Every structure is written in C-alpha cells, then in structure tokens.
C-alpha cells in the first residue's frame, strides 16, 4: 500500500510462544492477562485469528501452525504506539497538494 503520499515506519513487536501438550490453551491478553476473544476473519485460514481483549481493548494476532502443539501470539500496536514510532523517525509527513 506504500506509494505516493505514503511512507513506512518501523515498530517493535514482541511475540509470545504459547505451548500446550495437546491443544493450545486459551490465550490471555499480553496487557491485562484477561482471556482473549477469538475472531476468524479468514474462513479459509483456520490457523489464524484476530484476538481481542474485552477488558482493555488490546488486539492481538494469533497463529497456530497446522498440527502444532504451540501458537504464536503478537500484540498489535495501538494508535499511541504508532504515533510514537512515527515521531521517532524524524521524517515530516508529505504535505497535501493544494488545488
């Protein structure tokens, strides 16, 4: 999606490895530790979920390899984190062209 008027910023992302002996246990929020609500936006990707926290509002990506006994949980950045990463780049935003 990068193109004219767009630029890329970098953010850090911590990923948690969730392991279980048979089935991966219900994942908990990396912010407040509440159990996450799982959503499957891509029906053809049964190993990939959007996990949201009803308590603090944090969003996570949860992926479980096929026939795996573990899953990867990554918290997605929220707007304040994106704005902070944007400020760290020190690059000014492109100005909108006037008329």
**pLDDT of 77 above 90:** yes
Q: What is the pLDDT of residues 8-58, one digit of tens each?
A: 888 888 899 988 655 556 899 999 999 999 999 999 998 899 999 999 999
Which strand ranges, in their side-by-side order, compose the sheet holding 70-75? 15-19, 70-75, 59-63, 48-52, 37-39
Tokens of 66: 């096929």
**pLDDT of 63 above 60:** yes
pLDDT of amino acid 33: 95
Q: Which residues of 59-75 are buried (b: 16+ CB within 10 A; e: fewer)?
A: bbebebeeeeeebebbb
pTM here is: 0.74
Q: For the beta carbon of residue 19, count every other beta carbon within 10 angstroms.
A: 10
**pLDDT of 96 above 70:** no
Q: CA–CA separation, 47 vs 62, rounded Å?
A: 8
Q: CA–CA separation, 5 vs 94, rounded Å?
A: 6
Task: Please tell me what DSSP assigns to residue 69.
Answer: S
């Amino acid at each position: 999606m990068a193109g004219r008027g767009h630029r890329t910023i970098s953010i850090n992302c911590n990923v948690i490895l969730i392991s279980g002996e048979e089935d991966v246990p219900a994942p908990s929020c990396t912010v407040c530790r509440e159990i996450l609500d799982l959503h499957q936006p891509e029906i053809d990707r049964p190993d990939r979920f959007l996990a949201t926290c009803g308590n603090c509002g944090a969003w996570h990506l949860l992926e479980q390899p096929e026939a795996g006994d573990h899953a990867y949980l990554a918290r997605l950045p929220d707007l304040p984190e994106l704005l902070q990463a944007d400020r760290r780049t020190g690059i000014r935003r492109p100005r909108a062209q006037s008329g």
